[in-house]
Structure 1
Amino acid sequence: MTAGQAQAETPSAGPELRGTGDLGVVIERATGSVALVDTTQRKVLRHVEGFGDLSHASVKFTRDARRAFVFGRDGGLTRLDLLTGEVDGRIIQGGNSIGGAISQDGRFVAVGNYEPGGVKVFDTETMELVIDVPATYERPDGTTDQAKVVGVVDVPGNIFVFSLFEAGEIWTLDMSTEEPELTKYRDVGSMPYDALITANGRYYIAGLFGEDGMALLDLWHPENGVKRILPDYGRGEERLPVFKMPHLEGWAMAGTQAFFPAVGRNEVLVADTSDWSLTNRIEVHGQPIFVMSRPDERQVWVTFAHPLNDKVQVIDTQTHEVIETLEPGKSILHKEFTPRGEQIWISARDSNEVVIYDTRTFEELARLPAESPSGIFFTHRAHKIGL
């Protein structure tokens, strides 16, 4: 064998030859970095810097689960290559972005902005701007302004759906045609502050900060417009103090039941998804923020607002009883199940750790170092509607 032949047969340097199905990222809010993690080996592969202000951040994965788009509070849109562990694209596209979505075909990434209010859509490969949609609305006095955009999700048909906080509107942006088509649903309720999409992509539900109840758009029948559901959902006539508004993205769906956080109350609420009527109230440790279902829908895991954010509780979806209370560390909020639900990873922000539990035995499996960890995102999200 000649030297030239030997050189030709030597593998070239590059990313490790591996899949990405058991990878994920943990937001490290204090340092503007993320921890790249391996859920099979339960370890941190590396800490990656350069993401800007991550005091409120979220992550979406590309269709091939090779890259993660990180949306930062400073308006940054940053792309991370999961195989090289390096940032391979970053732009400052707005003044304050809190989330976004990737289209069904994987071609577009949409960013929802507080400042200036609106949605910007970029090409996922080139990161070039495709369309800018200002969230312009008319005030009661006839003047116009731009609303904060919240609750950006993707739905089947290459459509993005989002809510306008000050405007009380829900818009859809259809990216399936050469000229994107915008549809506006007005007067949906006072101050939609967050939203979710059901796993099948049918129902888009926005929580209302300014009044009790929620706004529902049936995307199978958009011609019916937006209707109001759960009129008892909210702070009620007592207008109880709210320490932190609940997040709606992690609503727990279990069969025909939906489990979701009460506003300002130490309760998890249960609704019948056939008619969206409230069927039960489950007393829990504190004001719930994230109410998430294990993938098999047998359990719901709940985290809480300050000052009672030191515990995690587990609810049996059949009996509606709290069956376990765990104390992973200080300032518990964010969590993520592995794809089939055998583990749950929980951020203990003020303990600077991610704590991993077996969801069947509740045994603690590992503790991983992280700098003020918050959101945890695994790559199986790449193949789920709205995640």
Structure 2
Amino acid sequence: MNRLAAFLLCTALTAPAFAQELRATGDLGVVVERATGSVLIVDQSERAAIGRVEGFGDLSHASLVFSADERFAYIFGRDGGLTKLDLLTQQIVGRVVQAGNSIGGAISDDGKLIAVANYEPGGVNIFDAETLEQVASIPAGGKALGLEDAAGRKFVFSVWDTGETKIVDMSGAEPKITTLSNIGAEPYDALVTDDGRTYIAGLFGEDGLTSIDLWAEVPEPRRILPHYGRGQEEMPVYKMPHLEGWAKAGDQIVLPAIHHHEVLWIDARTLEETGRTATHGQPVFAMARPGGRQVWVNFAHPDNDTVQVIDSMTHEIVGEMKPGPAVLHMEFTSRGTEAWVSVRDENKVVIYDTATLQPIGEIAAESPSGIFFTARAHRLGL
């Protein structure tokens, strides 16, 4: 046996089973199958599912974040479950049920901590990302929502019942908590701008939003877009808009309006309103294609079979697609060449070319909802 043959044989015998087919993580993603407590692991280049993993509990309102190396996904279930998934071995490597009712989570900027926001019993629990051992519990006096990561090993969240926002600094030996009052009535979701400076909380109980400058030595709440719905008849809210799907297009931010069939455009520097776009229905997600030229919008029931595309320069609708009933989520590939759209009631994910707005692929999935690609690992607020 020559040296090359001996080397290859030795390598084959010592390599772990899952490494026989080498695969990078940068092309991977996760599709939540909300009805079955399972997820699909997908490959963007192949436009295909490469595995299904079960055992995640109640995924009726699920979200997830990725580890810094893109290998692990941390999945937040509605039943309070926090589950760690290895994307390469396609196995669950850790799971804790840390509360009775959860509403999402975040990972610290250094990738070391996982925070989970809870409806019941309220507050935020924080865990070691490696072991899932709990390291802190932050009481809130109500339902914790709008949980976001911020620079400097910080988390920020709001409290529905009290109208407060809390900044949790985990950079020291013990959590340091700053509580800001008078955020507004019923803060329900939030976003952090991609530079980590501005936290914006949406208000369900009143028109308007509240911003906080996280770079300020003494952060203070500032009300923005007050009374944006004044003089208009409020419409029923069949599904809460999501600010985590916010869009920053150049020097603009676009947000879904509550109670109204429109999206709002804001100057990213002054946070003043610059325009509005009337939409097909009540927007749920308004998401920017990477690069910012387009904003894709999906809608609540009964208009949830439609996706509209808005030009960020003109604020005009330039495209409309009908992927199928119950479009729940959208996700762009990292450079924005494709948009993946989940269609719950037809058990599929439809893949669109963002230049032509034409479908170019389809993946079968059981009641799909959230779609998450590993590029999120390298962005604040996602």
TM range, normalised to the smaller chain? over 0.9
Q: 1:189 to 1:7 in 2, by over 3 A?
A: same
- SS at the partner of 1:113? strand
Aligned residues: 377
* Offset, 1:233: 3.5
Supply the distance in 1 between the matched residues of 2:121 and 2:232 (Cα, whole angstroms). Answer: 34
- SS at the partner of 2:171? coil
Identify which of 155, 174, 181 aligns with 1:179: 174
Identify which of 357, 362, 377 aligns with 1:382: 377
Q: Does the Cα contact within 8 Å between 1:214 and 1:233 map onto a contact in 2?
A: no
Partner of 2:18: 15
Supply the distance in 2 between the matched residues of 1:6 and 1:187 (Cα, whole angstroms). Answer: 66
- 1:280 paired with 2:283, answer no
Supply the distance in 2 between the matched residues of 1:184 and 1:322 (Cα, whole angstroms). Answer: 40
Partner of 2:52: 47
* Offset, 1:259: 1.1
- 1:255 paired with 2:250, answer yes
Supply the distance in 2 between the matched residues of 1:234 and 1:243 (Cα, whole angstroms). Answer: 18
Residues 295-316 of structure 1, C-alpha deviation per residue, up to 9 Å, x if partnerless? 0100000000100111100001
Letter in 2 for 1:299: Q
Letter in 1 for 2:208: G
- SS at the partner of 1:296? coil
- 1:31 paired with 2:36, answer yes
* Offset, 1:236: 6.2
Q: Does the Cα contact within 8 Å between 2:229 and 2:260 map onto a contact in 1?
A: no
* Offset, 1:35: 0.6
Residues 198-251 of structure 1, C-alpha deviation per residue, up to 9 Å, x if partnerless? 111110000111111111110111514111111034576633322222111111
* Offset, 1:355: 0.2
- SS at the partner of 1:15? helix
- SS at the partner of 2:313? coil
Q: Does the Cα contact within 8 Å between 1:99 and 1:111 map onto a contact in 2?
A: yes
Q: 1:271 to 1:251 in 2, by over 3 A?
A: same
Partner of 1:356: 351
Q: Does the Cα contact within 8 Å between 1:191 and 1:209 map onto a contact in 2?
A: yes
Q: Does the Cα contact within 8 Å between 1:215 and 1:229 map onto a contact in 2?
A: yes
Q: Does the Cα contact within 8 Å between 2:144 and 2:158 map onto a contact in 1?
A: yes
Q: Does the Cα contact within 8 Å between 1:349 and 1:373 map onto a contact in 2?
A: yes
Partner of 1:108: 113
Letter in 2 for 1:355: V
Supply the distance in 2 between the matched residues of 1:378 and 1:255 (Cα, whole angstroms). Answer: 22
Partner of 2:261: 266
Identify which of 78, 87, 91 aligns with 1:86: 91
* Offset, 1:110: 0.4
Partner of 1:205: 200
Letter in 1 for 2:105: G
Supply the distance in 2 between the matched residues of 1:82 and 1:222 (Cα, whole angstroms). Answer: 40
Identify which of 68, 93, 96 aligns with 2:101: 96
Residues 16-72 of structure 1, C-alpha deviation per residue, up to 9 Å, x if partnerless? 322100100000001000010000110000111000000000010011110000000
Supply the distance in 1 between the matched residues of 2:227 and 2:167 (Cα, whole angstroms). Answer: 27
Structure 2: any 5+ residue segments left out of the alignment?
none
- What TM-score does the superposition give when structure 1 sets the normalisation length? 0.94
Q: Does the Cα contact within 8 Å between 1:201 and 1:385 map onto a contact in 2?
A: yes
Q: Does the Cα contact within 8 Å between 2:234 and 2:260 map onto a contact in 1?
A: no
Q: Does the Cα contact within 8 Å between 2:332 and 2:340 map onto a contact in 1?
A: yes
Partner of 1:125: 130
- What TM-score does the superposition give when structure 2 sets the normalisation length? 0.95
- SS at the partner of 1:382? helix
Letter in 2 for 1:270: W
Q: 1:120 to 1:236 in 2, by over 3 A?
A: farther
Supply the distance in 2 between the matched residues of 1:290 and 1:210 (Cα, whole angstroms). Answer: 19
- SS at the partner of 1:249? helix
* Offset, 1:373: 0.2
Q: Does the Cα contact within 8 Å between 1:235 and 1:263 map onto a contact in 2?
A: no
Supply the distance in 2 between the matched residues of 1:66 and 1:74 (Cα, whole angstroms). Answer: 24
Structure 1: any 5+ residue segments left out of the alignment?
136-145
Supply the distance in 2 between the matched residues of 1:26 and 1:381 (Cα, whole angstroms). Answer: 14
- SS at the partner of 1:176? coil
- SS at the partner of 1:89? strand
Q: 1:244 to 1:10 in 2, by over 3 A?
A: closer
Q: Does the Cα contact within 8 Å between 2:63 and 2:370 map onto a contact in 1?
A: yes
Partner of 1:57: 62
Supply the distance in 2 between the matched residues of 1:310 and 1:88 (Cα, whole angstroms). Answer: 36
Q: 1:316 to 1:7 in 2, by over 3 A?
A: closer
Letter in 1 for 2:34: R
Partner of 1:152: 147
Residues 63-100 of structure 1, C-alpha deviation per residue, up to 9 Å, x if partnerless? 11100000000000001100011111111010111111
Supply the distance in 2 between the matched residues of 1:75 and 1:55 (Cα, whole angstroms). Answer: 12
What RMSD in Å do the two structures reach over aligned CA positions?
A: 1.7
